Chains A and B, each alone.
Chain A
Amino acid sequence: MGKKRKRIKIGDAEIPMSAMIDVVFLLLIYFIVTQKPIVEETLLSCNLPSPGGAPPDKPPTFLTIHVKRMYPNPGNDQAILQKDLNLYRLDNTVLKFNNPSASVDLKRRLIEMGKIDAEQTVIINCGPNASHQKLVQLLDACAVAGLKTLNLVNDEIPFDGDKK
């Protein structure tokens, strides 16, 4: 009597799905826990003062912007309110940046200047006690106006940062 051979059916070949699902879920949980929202970033270029260099044949057009921190008057009890008050001075016009309308004025003014000559040199004179935020916001406003030649110079006034 011949032996009966066990025939293997196609359905017998099984992949161990349960283990794979475990791993996949672990991976999923890991990536969900560790994921952070993608924050888009930007870079704002600026030239720094270089020593020497030949003077240009004709004087270039300059637009100078001062970024300074305004100090409260002595004895003024609004020191906290004025702590972060930074001003932009533009052609002898003092503009409060923290005032939204003044901020718009500065941007509008820069856009006008950019339309006249986008290649003109912008000199940004930033005081050491002004916050870095104001400088970046000014560079952003220059980007809106299409002004590309931005030079950053440093104000030679005492720095309060070391007095803390």
Chain B
Amino acid sequence: MGKRRKDTPKEADVPIESMIDIIFLLIIFFVVTAAMDKEIQDVNVKLTSAPHGKPIVKKDPRAITINVRRDGSIRIGGQVVAMGTISNMLTVAADKYGHDVPIIVRGDRNAMHGYIKRVLEAITETQLYTVKFQALKDE
């Protein structure tokens, strides 16, 4: 009498190792992209509160954020930049995205306006005449 081979069902395993790999890849992705976003905003700049301003619903991806610290040092994208560099950067941005490119100035609340004024002069030099000052919505 011939033996009948019957496929025995194997134990059903969830491939947990590969799932962990994917989770770690996702974590690394989010950590890296979150860090890039933070670089735009200088944490050493203490903003003024403006509770009556409209909240930021959606940020324009073209926006250029200029951080002005209390001591007058200027940072764009986490890098210290000189005044001449700002004009060049804005000129390139205006040529690429048009003259309606949003310029956001994040000035420290204790910075003297003279420091902000220099940045504003660099902005007007590149024929951009609208600027937005960033502030905290909360008190």
Enumerate chain A interface residues (CB-CB to B < 8 A).
5-6, 8, 12-13, 15-16, 19-20, 23, 27, 30, 39-50, 67, 126-133, 135-137, 139-141, 143-144, 152, 154, 159-161
Contact = CB atoms under 8 A, between A and B. Distances in A.
B124 interface: yes
A23 B23 contact: yes
A67 B117 CA distance: 13
Contact of B113 (A44, A128, A143): A128
B114 interface: yes
B112 A44 contact: no
Given A19-B20, A140-B50, A161-B72, A43 B134 contact: yes
Nearest to B128: A48
Chain A interface, DSSP helix/strand/loop, else mixed? mixed
A40 B114 contact: no
Contacts of B52: 140-141, 143-144
A44 B135 contact: yes
B133 interface: yes
Contacts of B54: 42-43, 143
Chain A to chain B: the 8 pairs with minimum beta-carbon distance, closest first: A128-B114, A42-B53, A159-B114, A140-B50, A40-B137, A133-B109, A13-B12, A136-B48
22 contacts: A8-B11, A16-B14, A20-B19, A42-B54, A43-B56, A43-B134, A44-B50, A44-B53, A45-B130, A45-B132, A46-B133, A48-B124, A49-B124, A67-B113, A126-B117, A132-B108, A136-B50, A136-B133, A140-B135, A143-B52, A152-B120, A161-B115
A157 B6 CA distance: 96
Contacts of A16: 14, 16
A146 to B, nearest CB: 10
B133 to A, nearest CB: 5
B123 interface: yes
Contacts of A12: 11
Contact of A132 (B27, B53, B116): B116
Nearest to B47: A41
B133 A135 contact: yes
B132 A131 contact: no
Given A13-B13, A15-B14, A40-B136, A45 B116 contact: no
A48 B131 contact: yes
Contact of B11 (A13, A30, A128): A13
B27 A143 contact: no
Given A41-B136, A143-B53, A154 B13 contact: no
A60 B47 CA distance: 33
Contacts of B135: 41-44, 136, 140
B12 A161 contact: no
B117 A154 contact: yes
B16 A132 contact: no
